[in-house]
Amino acid sequence: MKSLVRKCVIGTAFVAATSVASAATFVNVLTGGTSGVYYPLGVTLSQIYGEVIADSKVQVQATKASAENLNLLQAGRGEIGFSLGDSVSDAWKGNADAGFAKPLDKLRAIASVYPNYIQIVALADANVKSLADLKGKRISVGAPRSGTELNARAILRAAGLSYNDFAKVEYLPFGESVELMKNRQIDVTLQSAGLGVAALRDLSAAVKVNFVPIPAEVVAKVGDPAYQAAKVPANTYEGQTADVDTVAINNLLVTHEKVSDEVAYQMTKSIFDNLERLGTSHSAARQIKLEKAAEGLPIPLHPGAEKFYREKGLIK
């Protein structure tokens, strides 16, 4: 009899332990390459989520950024991820040319955060002063079908260029592109990232470079309202003494419909409760503004995020 009672107690304890384990909230934060902006921000977000979301198990995943993050979210293999706004729009529509064979209809928005700037940087001795001078050069356009690479296609097309106009095209993430630049294996890198991205700070400190302007008339020819004329302010990078005309595209934080309303609410609220902390992890986060967070979204808000914005009076 004692043996039976003991087995029952052990069995009950096992069931209880199993129930507790199954109640854990898993949050996988999808970022980008470790030399970009998404990754350090994702690390800080994961730390915040681990502190504020009860019974959470949080991890950070380095990815190829926008397109991969959106496909992973659609498949339920992440709870929140960074992506460029134009990639989110393409995913929602199912733009096959952008890498989305069918509409990713499970995606939901958490927030519009900070802008990416398309930054084209050439070795100083490559004599690239304009987009037209890119012809015949060796270039890296970002990881295949990443947000950066999709941006590269759009800008080059608007400037009357294609990949066939280059002597060599590499499809590499930021850090690897910079290493090739340092070794004189390519002439140009195009990177779509927040201002002050580590890879370009490293590059401009190591070798003499030239920042190639993207004129406003080229931006207009893209024909996508997500692409807005902007400037990289002078002295963002070493040796860059003047403003550089370029393009800005908003980044979004995206989740999916199966994430619970409460978790989505906490993920949204804790972003704006910790803006100073996020800004410390990367200067790009200092451009995140609560009043802009629910504007211009190409996909529906998650109900949990919508609840937060209603509480703040941003949605009536």
Structure tokens at 141: 């356009």
Domains of the chain: 25-113+251-311 (3.40.190.10), 116-249 (3.40.190.10)
In whole angstroms, what is the distance from residue 49 CA to residue 182 CA?
Answer: 38
pTM of the model: 0.85
In whole angstroms, what is the distance from residue 298 CA to residue 273 CA?
Answer: 24
For residues 35-64, average pLDDT: 96
pLDDT digits (tens, 9 = 90+) for 206-248: 999 999 999 999 999 999 888 999 999 999 999 999 999 999 9
Q: Coil, strand or helix: which one is 106?
A: coil
Locus of tokens 């993050």: 69
pLDDT of residue 145: 82
Contacts of 11 (CB under 8 A, 6+ apart): none
pLDDT digits (tens, 9 = 90+) for 276-285: 999 999 999 9
What are the start-end ranges of the E strands in the chain? 25-30, 56-61, 80-84, 107-123, 138-140, 168-170, 188-193, 209-212, 228-232, 244-256
| C-alpha dist (Å) from residue 305 to 22, 26, 36, 83 | 25, 18, 26, 17
